[in-house]
A and B are shown apart, each in its own frame.
Chain A
Amino acid sequence: MNLLKNFALSLVGATLVVGLWALVSTTISKDLPSPIKTWTESKVYILQPFDKRGEMDQGILRMAAYSLYRVAKGFLLAILIGTPLGFLLGNSLLLSKMFDPVIQILRPISPLAWLPLGLILFRQSEPAALFTIALCSMWPTVINTMQGVRSIPQDYLNVATVLRLSPWRRFTKVLLPATLPYMFTGYRLSLGLAWLVIVAAEMLTGTPGVGGFLWQEYNSLIYSHILLCILTIGLVGFALDRLMGIAETRLRAA
């Protein structure tokens, strides 16, 4: 019953926002397509979500799938680098003192700043996009893993010590399981960031995907499709976060 009530309330909230959108599009900003106009001009993308009519003219879910695939690769790269890095920094006070300031400086750099560098380094849009996604999204993984390693209760480490666990067993039986919940929090935040970055990366590299489509439609002056892309990006990002949230709770319960 509560669930139903909450759902009804969020529906009311969404309706209010769409109403505001409609109001703004008819009064203040005539360039902003109204919700109805957005729907009529976009429905072919939504109702035939997997159609492929051309390189940059494809169903919205097909576009989203391209983007997701790209995000998955960049995210994987981010956690493959970020997790060991987090363990290393969490275990060594020396290393963390050395690299913490660097990380704090690299962390707030926007994908728009990294992308040109990636293009120079790799000379191709795809690896440049992955480079950007990985570089922007890995910091929460690094920082949370590091925090997780540091938060391991001394009791567990003492157990590992008095039981004379080998370094490998110490890692697999104590360090890793103790850090796992923190790591997953990092992964969740990283995935959110990776999804944020994909749009910027696709916009600038012009590759097919939600972000690329958005930029193309901006250049083609089809503003309703921009709104379609924005909504899609939001919904997909929301779904990703929920999925990671479920994985995280499962992990904590285990």
Chain B
Amino acid sequence: MTMTTQRPLEITSLTKVFPTPSGPHVAVKDFRALIQPGEFVSLLGHSGCGKSTVLAIVAGLSSASEGGVIVDGKEIEGPGLERALVFQTPSLLPWMTALDNVLLAVSQAHPALGHREQKAMASKYLDMVGLTEYANQRPTELSQGTQQRVAIARAFSLEPRFLLLDEPFGALDSITRRELQDLLLDLWEQDRKTVLMVTHDVDEALYLSDRIILMTDGPESRVGLELEITLPRPRSAEGSLDHPDYFRLRREVLQFLEHHSKQFSSGGHAGHSNKKSSAVVV
């Protein structure tokens, strides 16, 4: 077990081609990444750059046209409970209570447990996101932010080794977003799961990640720049945002998004797409 958990998640020259009426559309081309155990990595890029496509393939919801995703030395075939996915929308089943939504995941991940134990476990995870008192409410009775908390509880209740987040806070107002970012950081600090998060929010990526992978604009989007975010952990809004490195990193990301990405996509294969930033903060 310890052997396998030490292995990185590897994305090998992943290419995704969508058939369209006007011919094949290469959304992602030759995307490579190595995500170390316990690492929090963000995929950042303009909307439509294919970052969600990459995540969907890692989650097993979509299949790669070429290349693939390697977990524990094996190429994945479809979804797996060791990879939990939090969607952009809470995606709770509206006919179930918050608890039952989590319970559904628990019962899938721990089928050997009795119903009572499964329920206790689901409660524990709802408790962890601060929703004990909302257990018996239905999603429609909960705010968007609270629903997303339930979705986070559901993902953690699978006790996955990999957490995949698809713009999980994109639909929330800025205050709720900040709250949930802190919640996520708290939960992550407890056992440091390997995280791959898709976002288009620069500050979110900087605040949460160990590393940001910037993607070039599509079509044929790929890794444009990788940036180590060595802001000290544990992070907090006050401490991290005031850190002198923060603004430098932020400027670098924004510069990439404004200029570099276009250059890369128009430049075809020119340049080394996997180069690490020279601006690694040590």
Contacts and interface: CB of A to CB of B under 8 A. Distances in A.
Interface string A148-173: 00000001101101111100000001
B104 A173 contact: yes
A163 B157 CA distance: 11
The residue in A159, A174, A177, A180 that gathers the most chain B C-beta atoms within 10 A of its C-beta is A159
Nearest to A181: B95
A113 interface: no
A1 interface: no
Specify the main secondary structure of chain A where it touches its partner.
Answer: helix
Contact of B87 (A155, A165, A178): A155
Nearest to B84: A162
B87 A173 contact: no
Contact of B93 (A161, A162, A174, A254): A174
Interface residues of B, number: 18
Interface string B53-79: 000000111000000000000000001
Interface in B156-175: 158
Nearest to A166: B108
Contact of B95 (A155, A163, A164, A254): A254
Contacts, number: 41
A156 B91 contact: yes
A254 B105 CA distance: 22
A173 B92 CA distance: 12
A161 B87 CA distance: 13
Contacts of B89: 155
A164 B61 CA distance: 11
Nearest to B56: A158
B37 interface: no
B95 A177 contact: yes
A248 to B, nearest CB: 15
17 contacts: A155-B87, A155-B89, A155-B91, A158-B87, A159-B91, A159-B93, A161-B61, A161-B79, A162-B60, A162-B83, A162-B84, A163-B104, A173-B93, A173-B104, A177-B95, A178-B95, A180-B95
